[in-house]
């Protein structure tokens, strides 16, 4: 696999970095977090206008026909800027699950709306027992006439607060445990109870309770009982995007820390001249480069390997990159000393993002266990 960016990919990366640099100052982000506003619809529309939401969607459905590499490039730059907008939850995992599992009519109706930013869908698949993995699923769909009634609970729905619709995984009553059906559920559906949850990193998730939500047969995404493969496809894209986001975050932490060590003085000299601190920066860079290499391995596997190999490789990437991000961001705080602990300075917010990311799309421990299986 050639990891050198072509001219179009380089333009894409440059355009995201320019936008984040101009429109997403740390102070602006901090104000949004403190106001508990979460994401901005203006930023989201700008993402759409720049083509980032359409980048990895099929051309036949309003996308630009790109692939997972484009998603990773965008996510990496968004990670550098610590963006709050629901790119991972809506534009990656939900959109790619829909692209993988929807019928032709469903994709023709919904994907162009996701690409132009006018519609947002979140993926509601995680439950208390599954903790970020697709199985097991305790939510039950009971068939009533030509439709279904959903009963269950979904936890930590990424970007749910901004969603107008959800893709909800459920098991049709009596079906085998691995025969998952995906349903499209409107955010204002009767019987759907939503609770917004602020996360440690300033983003928001949702807890969903489905109390007899009535759906027609048209709400089934794809075919009944065949949703697991689509769900895994969406989550695979998500694991790569999350890994790329954390690599971008690590890059920015190392840059900011190195700059701080050059300017902060003690005993009349810049503290960056102390060899012990240079060694710690070198350790951070080594961890980041190892994580970047693992991201490349994950991208290659996601595009070329069979399903079993791909799942094992992505689990390894999720665990390794997540641990590296916590180490690098934690070291960044330590090397900044007291200022690194303050809410008003950016370094601590990268660490918070790494802590939350550790649990998203399956915990590190769950993915390590999957590698051993």
- Chain centroid to Cα 39, Å, comes to 14
Which CA distances in Å does 219 have to 117, 348, 370?
Answer: 22, 43, 32
Query: How many residues are present in the chain?
Result: 373
Nearest Cα residue to 124 out of 227, 206, 221 = 206
Q: What is the pLDDT of residue 132?
A: 87
Alpha helices in 62-186 (DSSP H): 68-80, 95-101, 104-115
Q: What is the pLDDT of residue 279?
A: 95
Strands 140-144 and 165-172, how do they pair? parallel
Nearest Cα residue to 354 out of 253, 235, 238 = 253
Element (H, E) at 288: helix 275-304
Q: What is the pLDDT of residue 333?
A: 96
Q: What is the pLDDT of residue 265?
A: 84
Q: What is the pLDDT of residue 39?
A: 84
Q: What is the pLDDT of residue 2?
A: 59
Q: pTM score, two decimals?
A: 0.95
Longest C-alpha distance within the chain, in Å? 80
- In whole angstroms, give the CA distance from residue 89 to residue 120: 9
Domain 229-372 has CATH 1.20.140.10: yes
Q: What is the pLDDT of residue 348?
A: 95
Ramachandran region, residue 163 (left: φ > 0; alpha: ψ -120 to 50; beta: rest): beta
- Equal CATH topology for 7-119 and 229-372: no
Nearest Cα residue to 314 out of 300, 327, 324 = 300
For domain 7-119, give its CATH number from 1.20.1250.20, 1.10.540.10, 1.10.260.40, 1.10.8.590.
1.10.540.10
SS3 of residue 239 by DSSP: helix
- Domain range list for the chain: 7-119, 122-225, 229-372
Q: Which residues in the chain come in under a pLDDT of 50?
A: none
Alpha helices in 337-363 (DSSP H): 347-359
For domain 122-225, give its CATH number from 3.40.50.300, 3.40.50.360, 2.40.110.10, 2.60.120.10.
2.40.110.10
């Amino acid at each position: 696999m050639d990891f050198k960016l072509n001219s179009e990919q380089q333009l894409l990366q440059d355009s995201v970095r320019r936008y984040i640099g101009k429109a997403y100052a740390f102070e602006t982000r901090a104000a949004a977090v403190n106001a508990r506003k979460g994401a901005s619809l203006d930023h989201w529309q700008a993402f759409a206008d720049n083509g980032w939401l359409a980048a990895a969607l099929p051309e036949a459905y309003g996308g630009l026909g790109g692939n997972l590499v484009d998603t990773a490039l965008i996510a990496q730059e968004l990670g550098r800027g610590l963006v709050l907008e629901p790119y991972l939850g809506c534009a990656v995992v939900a959109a790619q699950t829909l692209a993988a599992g929807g019928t032709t009519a469903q994709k023709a109706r919904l994907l162009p709306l996701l690409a132009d930013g006018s519609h947002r869908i979140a993926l509601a698949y995680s439950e208390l027992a599954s903790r970020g993995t697709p199985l097991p699923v305790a939510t039950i769909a009971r068939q009533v006439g030509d439709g279904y009634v959903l009963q269950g609970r979904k936890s930590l729905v990424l970007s749910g607060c901004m969603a107008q619709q959800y893709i909800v995984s459920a098991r049709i009553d009596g079906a085998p445990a691995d025969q998952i059906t995906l349903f499209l559920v409107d955010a204002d559906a009767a019987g759907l109870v939503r609770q917004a949850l602020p996360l440690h990193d300033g983003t928001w998730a949702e807890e969903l309770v489905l109390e007899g939500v009535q759906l027609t047969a048209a709400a089934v995404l794809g075919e009944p009982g065949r949703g697991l493969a689509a769900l895994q496809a969406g989550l695979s894209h998500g694991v790569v995007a999350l890994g790329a986001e954390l690599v971008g975050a690590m890059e920015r932490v190392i840059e900011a820390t190195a700059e701080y060590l050059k300017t902060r003085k003690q005993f009349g000299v810049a503290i960056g001249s102390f060899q012990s601190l240079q060694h710690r920066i070198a350790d951070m860079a080594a961890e980041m480069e190892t994580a970047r290499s693992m991201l490349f391995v994950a991208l290659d596997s996601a595009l070329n390997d069979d399903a079993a190999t791909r799942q094992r490789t992505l689990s390894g990437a999720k665990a390794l990159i997540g641990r590296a991000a916590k180490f690098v961001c934690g070291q960044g705080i330590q090397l900044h000393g007291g200022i690194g602990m303050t809410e008003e300075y950016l370094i601590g917010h990268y660490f918070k993002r790494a802590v939350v990311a550790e649990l998203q799309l399956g915990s590190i421990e769950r993915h390590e266990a999957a590698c051993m299986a």
